[in-house]
Amino acid sequence: MIRSSQLAHKRVAELQPGELLRISFGTTAGIAVFMKHLNSGGGLVGVIKSADFNRPMTWYALDDGERVMSYGPDWFLEEVHGDATAAGRRHVADSARLHVQGHELVMTFIPPEHQVGQPVISFGLSTLDKTELSRHAAPVVKWQIWESEGHRDRGGAPLVDMTQPA
């Protein structure tokens, strides 16, 4: 048998940075990217989209023993460059959550609601590490994520179809 999906169960302790996840946060499953294991145990994820979160692109901490579904690290992101995508567009960059910085794409996640004083976290999708967002980073306000490039090429629906205000 050959599966059309690589989706598999994993514990948070087994995850590697950059894996695309399907996580239940209560009522529905959301899509997230695993960023790192925490020194205190557990892991940090960037929740890209979930009906259980009022705001997209929010970071969230998980316990080591929690089980999630992983698509693995080889997911496909398609950028749609529009009028807002230009270096140094600060007024747009502040509201955008995906940026081109050098040769890398950077996702920026805001703190969870009611976490006053917590930092914004920018995560490099090539370096698979936290990074500082440059003032020259170019915002990308429309983008889509598929499980793989093959899923996109076969006409499958994206897991995430993100359009943010410019």
Q: How far apart are CA 62 and CA 24, in angstroms?
A: 11
Comparing CA positions, the residue from 55, 154, 73, 159 lying closest to residue 111 is 55
pLDDT tens for each residue of the chain, 166 residues long: 778 888 999 999 999 999 999 999 888 899 999 999 999 899 999 999 998 888 889 999 999 889 999 999 999 999 998 888 888 766 555 667 899 999 999 999 999 988 878 999 999 999 999 999 988 888 898 999 999 999 999 999 999 999 876 5
Q: How far apart are CA 23 and CA 31, in angstroms?
A: 6
Angle at 67 between CA 62 and CA 70, to 5 degrees: 95
pTM attached to this predicted model: 0.91
Comparing CA positions, the residue from 17, 4, 6, 165 lying closest to residue 92 is 165
Going along the chain from its start, the domains and CATH numbers come out as: 8-72 (2.30.30), 76-163 (no CATH)
